[in-house]
Structure 1
Amino acid sequence: MSPLEERLRRLEDAAAIRTLDATCCRLLDDVDWPALVALVTEDGVFDGLSRVRGHRDLLMFSGGLADAGMSVFWHHDGIAHVASGRYADELTHAGEGWRYRVEQVRFSYRAPLAEGLDRHRFALESARSAAVARRTPA
């Protein structure tokens, strides 16, 4: 591979990884678990709220989160929370493109949404006022 071809490959890979991350965020927002799981390798791992491996178990785990009330805001014991954490993902280039081999998240904190963050600057009412109607496909 020539230096120019190598440079182009690196740029294309970087763009594909950014697209993968952006797609993951959109699918989380849309609570589209099957499409989200498709971004992970067949034996991929989610390591965060629990440690889960493989598409079947990832779908069961994700469905359980939805049944427990996970939405844009995380619910714990029936109370909406906000959380902050950091992802440390491992990626691999599979036949269908870049995929997550490991999605790891470590939470820094969580707080009830009604109490807000930053001395109530970001609370339930400010979140409601900032919410936009869900887009429906045309």
Structure 2
Amino acid sequence: MAQKIAIGKIAVLLAALTEEELVAMGPVLNGVSYCQGKVGSMNMQKVISAVETAAKRSGLIHQTNYRDTHALYHAILEGIEGVTRGKPAIGEVSRTVGLRFAVVRGSPYENEEEGEWIAVAFYGTIGAPIKGLEHETIGLGINHM
């Protein structure tokens, strides 16, 4: 049986912790496939594209495999819903985001037949496009591959 990996928990930690805080996670991350990145924008497509680009460049998803891209897209959208409190809109409603994100791919179930899943976590700020008027936000999306 495959080892169970808490992909959502790992993704949230990778997105939320600073570089210094992540050092202590080194042993936990052995054998975990992940990537990280940052994005700030009032444009939702830029947020989606930043995550997709990071996942493709790191080899977490295969560019030519529609199933991989489709699963990642749905995990991103689910994570964005958490960031935006259920209404996936930022610039259209005069909000901006500054986010760190993490994408983790793995097997969250001991039963190998359940296959691989992908988790996308966001942590950062959202608010009016005026410095200092934003507040913390977090979102997590998980989808089967």
Normalising to structure 2: TM-score of the pair?
Answer: 0.28
Normalising to structure 1: TM-score of the pair?
Answer: 0.29
Which gives a bigger RCO, structure 1 or 2 (Cα 8 Å, sep 6+)?
2
Higher Cα Rg, which structure? 1
